[in-house]
Structure 1
Amino acid sequence: MGSVKKIIIDTDPGIDDAMAILLALQSPEVEVIGLTTIFGNVYTTLATRNALHLLEVAGRTDIPVAEGSHMTIMKGTKLRIADFVHGADGLGNQNFAPPKGKPIEQSAAAFLVKQANLYPGKVTVVALGPLTNIALAIQMDPGFSKNIEQIVLLGGAFSVNGNVNSAAEANIFGDPEAADIVFTCGADILAIGINVTHQVVLTDADRDKLSRSEGKFAQYLCKILDVYFSYHHDAYDTRGVYLHDPTTLLAAVDPSLLTYTEGIVRVQTSGITRGLTIFDNKKKRFAEVTEWCEKPTVKVAVTVDAPAVVKLVMERLMNS
């Protein structure tokens, strides 16, 4: 086994974020050196509260939490919040007691820049929400893209319909301008879209197995999963939930669980396709000079070993 990978999780908890964070803390391949928070499933203030709460549940209050942006990169404040998926509190309407901990003074972007400078080439960002904090870090420090080891992000709907509307996936739709900055920044980027995560399903039977286990994290998650299962049943007519965030986290833990293609990704920032991720496989050399020219390539996930991902999620949560 190689050396332990340092990761920062940029997160908007969120039920599947909670699962991903607890999974990360149960993964010996990675060391979580911080959580940064962003709007998405909930507003940023609540995301911070939930991140602090989850670290208390896990007994890991040594991990710092840096609060992120409360608005989009273009200073937009009309945010799309998915409380109808995750509950008004983001954690299945359990109304847990407020956490005792507080976020650090540094902003999420400043924390990201500092850690990338402190450990150049050694920090992976696992981005589970809109990409505002990452874009702010890129704007704050031109060296960030080269200092960061990798950005593994949950975002996009490559060659499939979105989950906000037919065109857009939720995280990209949350801040399309920020996403376009990140996709074209030149960092080593691995994008996990819903074309892949919709193949990874935690079934009702899996949830029953988790509830029968003695795993501390499994028991906690079973408390909060009801809302998430109900939403998936109503929206997709499925007896299970998609493991978007845990799949993305495991892509950082073990990239061999997925296969990838490489090309340029741009994000549509206006009109009815706002938030659309467009992939250029670079198979054709175009004569015209366009906004696609001279852009760096990124890796986009195309297949996933779904049974292996679910097995890892189950084992690690049940053995917590």
Structure 2
Amino acid sequence: MAAAAVKPEEEHKMKKKLVIDTDPGIDDAMAIFVALRSPELELLGLTTIFGNVYTTLATRNALHLLEAVGRTDIPVAEGSHVTVKKATKLRIASFVHGSDGLGNQNFPPPTGKPVDQSAAAFLVEQANLYPGQVTVVALGPLTNLALAIELDPSFPKKIGQIVILGGAYSVNGNVNPAAEANIFGDPDAADIVFTSGADILAIGINITHQVVLSGKSWCACDRL
């Protein structure tokens, strides 16, 4: 007996709703492209933050990446330009992915603009629109998430899950022996997020350093 076909509207509801908080970055660009190609994910938007580059450039890169793949329907909300306590010096890793974050390719400016809404406000809005359904994937410092919690203290209960690329667990850090770059970028924000009561999955460099992209996997990525 043939299985019943899934209606398009039902398939849409089954997809995991995702917001990527990002500081692109070639690494983040790859993550965004994979999310866009996944049939299991619905990308609700991108929020930008400093890290690999300053926030303004992160926004420009996010808009450029979406334009490059014809997904200008996805909103980009610009995030904080400063750490949550504002006095902490920004640590920009331009030496990793180039001064533009994308390998110094000098891409033309994007034609699109970010939405007229802060990243924190956008995160709170999505959590309210889809309570318990939204996963935030945080690929940079956690400033925007901390500001979302300050904006709406109930945000940790409304968000489905926060997946954090950050931390060094039982291994040395990559900034100094005790710290990993994304947490080190705004430790006060990290403290707010980790103690908020939200459902958090943290993926530290103890995990990412074990990931190897094989030739077979690279070919699969190339087909995307």
Query: Runs of 5+ in structure 2 lacking a partner?
Result: 1-10
1:314 offset after TM fit, Å?
A: 4.9
1:52 aligned to 2:63?
yes
Give the 5 Å matches for 1:1-320. 3-76=14-87, 78-202=89-213, 206=215, 311=217, 314-315=219-220, 317-320=221-224
Query: Runs of 5+ in structure 1 lacking a partner?
Result: 210-310
Counterpart of 2:213 in 1: which secondary structure? strand
| Conservation of the 8 A alpha-carbon contact between 1:44 and 1:68 | yes
Structure 1 residues 187 and 54: alpha-carbon distance in aligned structure 2, compared to 1, 3 A threshold:
same
1:143 offset after TM fit, Å?
A: 1.1
| Conservation of the 8 A alpha-carbon contact between 1:70 and 1:77 | no
Distance 2:64 2:156 in 1: 30
1:77 offset after TM fit, Å?
A: 5.6
Distance 1:48 1:163 in 2: 25
Once the two structures are aligned, what percentage of the paired residues are identical?
77
TM-score normalised to the size of structure 1?
A: 0.65
Structure 1 residues 85 and 68: alpha-carbon distance in aligned structure 2, compared to 1, 3 A threshold:
same
Q: Amino acid of the residue matched to residue 11 of structure 1?
A: T
Number of corresponding residues: 213
Distance 2:179 2:55 in 1: 21
Counterpart of 2:112 in 1: which secondary structure? coil
Q: Amino acid of the residue matched to residue 10 of structure 1?
A: D
TM-score normalised to the size of structure 2?
A: 0.92
Q: Amino acid of the residue matched to residue 318 of structure 1?
A: D
Q: Amino acid of the residue matched to residue 319 of structure 1?
A: R
1:319 offset after TM fit, Å?
A: 2.5
Structure 1 residues 12 and 3: alpha-carbon distance in aligned structure 2, compared to 1, 3 A threshold:
same
Structure 1 residues 136 and 314: alpha-carbon distance in aligned structure 2, compared to 1, 3 A threshold:
farther
RMSD: 1.5
Task: Return structure 1 stretches of 4+ with deviation > 6 angstroms.
Answer: none
